[in-house]
Structure 1
């Protein structure tokens, strides 16, 4: 357990950051799930629209330090390829 005042403060800060990051990660997953559901339904227009909304959220997660840049780019790339494949 934290003994020094600074260690106690860091523990409090870590709890707050954890809560914020958890909420942000959950929000991003919700957007990704909406894209997945649109792809599963076979509606390309809805899937493209959901992807268009999800992409900025995912990249915002990168700037906030929740996801690595390459991870977010990989997710966007794979989802956009799947959205394009619906029409083919």
Structure 2
């Protein structure tokens, strides 16, 4: 339990930041899931559209520090490769 005023304030700040980060991570995962569902359904046009909307969301999460920049780039790259493979 926090004893000092500054420690209590930090506890409040951490809780607030955690809630924001959780929301952003959840939002990113939702967009990724939409792409994966379109890929699983075999619908290339829907998958492409979902990827177009997911990419900025993934990169925004990287910019905000939710995921590492390389992790975000890898996610986008692998999703794009899977969407491209549907066309073949």
TM-score for the superposition, normalised by structure 1? 0.97
Query: Residues 13-61 of structure 1, C-alpha deviation per residue, up to 9 Å, x if partnerless?
Result: 0000000110111111100000000000111111011000000001111
Structure 2, unmatched stretches of 5+, are none
Q: How many residues align?
A: 88
Structure 1, unmatched stretches of 5+, are none
Across the aligned residues of Structure 1 and Structure 2, the Cα RMSD in angstroms comes to 0.6
Q: Which residue of 1 aligns with 2:64?
A: 64
Looking at structure 2, the residues matched to 2 and 86 of structure 1 have their Cα atoms a distance apart, in angstroms, of 54
Superposition deviation, residue 72 in structure 1 = 0.4
Which stretches of structure 1, 4 residues or more, deviate above 2 A after TM superposition?
A: none
Q: Which residue of 2 aligns with 1:73?
A: 73
Q: Which residue of 1 aligns with 2:17?
A: 17
SS at match of 1:3: coil
- Whether 1:3 aligns to 2:39 is no
Looking at structure 1, the residues matched to 11 and 58 of structure 2 have their Cα atoms a distance apart, in angstroms, of 27
